[in-house]
């Protein structure tokens, strides 16, 4: 059944250039092999637009398949209304995640150690029409992690998405094989890569419960399953993060 999230059932366009409009009647999707395959993808949680699609650009459709499970198809606003905190988002993967989330309609808190880079990311997001703010935080500090989540909630009214992306600097500086590992380097790596995600999740979960939904995304590494020589603390921390996620 094709539904408009805003205004109910949709009418299929009768010509390629015609935009879809709402009508009191619903529209049944033909029972084709392709639609069945698409339905299976939706059940697995992958929102895939059926192809070929008769809808014109800008139309929003959703496919409902039993037990109220719905996948939405249409413009890039899949995260509209969400409030996302992305750690380590002043550069690299975290920056790309924060930017993509904002493009999809989420309000985003950018965080990291470099305020200048953070301000640049926020400026790029807001310049493109998104909504973002920067908040500096030392993720090796328990109180700072809790305050970061509180600042996100105060700025945007809650937290519904947490992305634990930040990685401790020991990966580049003092990590090494076990025989050469110092206790301070080991603890510093695990504190940012494993303990901080727990602190942040612990602080964010009550906000997600209040919102009625939430997502926690932990960015891991294939090194957690396939060890790399000379990165003992990083590998251990990412393996621990995988277990924490499970």
Annotate 6-52 with DSSP letters as a single string.
TTEEEEPPSSTTPPPEE-SS--PPP--HHHHHHHHHHHTT-----SS
- Angle between helices 196-211 and 232-245 in degrees, nearest 10: 20
Among 168, 221, 234, 235, which one carries the catalytic annotation?
A: 234
Contact 105, 115 (CB under 8 A): no
Instruction: Provide the token pair at 30.
Output: 């033909």
Q: How far is CA 210 from CA 37, 199, 207, in A?
A: 36, 18, 5
Check if 73 is active-site. Answer: no
Q: How far apart are CA 40 and CA 47, in angstroms?
A: 10
Q: How far apart are CA 42 and CA 215, in angstroms?
A: 18
* Residues annotated as catalytic (active site), given as ranges: 234
């Amino acid at each position: 059944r094709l539904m408009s999230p805003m205004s109910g059932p949709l009418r299929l366009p009768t010509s390629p250039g015609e935009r879809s409009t709402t009508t009191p009647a619903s529209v049944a999707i033909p029972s084709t092999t392709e639609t069945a395959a698409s339905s299976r993808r939706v059940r697995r949680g992958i929102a895939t637009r059926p192809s070929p699609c008769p809808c014109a650009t800008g139309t929003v459709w959703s496919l409902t398949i039993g037990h109220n499970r719905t996948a939405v198809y249409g413009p890039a606003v899949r995260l509209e209304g969400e409030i996302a905190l992305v750690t380590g988002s002043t550069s690299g993967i975290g920056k790309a995640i924060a930017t993509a989330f904002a493009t999809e309609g989420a309000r985003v808190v950018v965080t990291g150690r470099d305020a200048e880079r953070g301000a640049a990311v926020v400026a790029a997001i807001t310049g493109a029409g998104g909504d973002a703010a920067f908040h500096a935080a030392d993720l090796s500090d328990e109180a700072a992690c809790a305050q970061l989540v509180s600042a996100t909630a105060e700025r945007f009214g809650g937290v519904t998405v947490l992305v634990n992306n930040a990685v401790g600097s020991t990966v580049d500086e003092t990590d090494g094989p076990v025989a050469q590992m110092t206790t301070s380097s080991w603890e510093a790596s695990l504190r940012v890569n494993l303990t901080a995600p727990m602190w942040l999740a612990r602080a964010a979960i009550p906000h997600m419960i209040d919102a009625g939904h939430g997502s926690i995304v932990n960015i891991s590494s294939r090194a957690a399953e396939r060890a790399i020589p000379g990165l003992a603390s990083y590998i251990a921390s990412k393996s621990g993060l995988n277990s924490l996620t499970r």
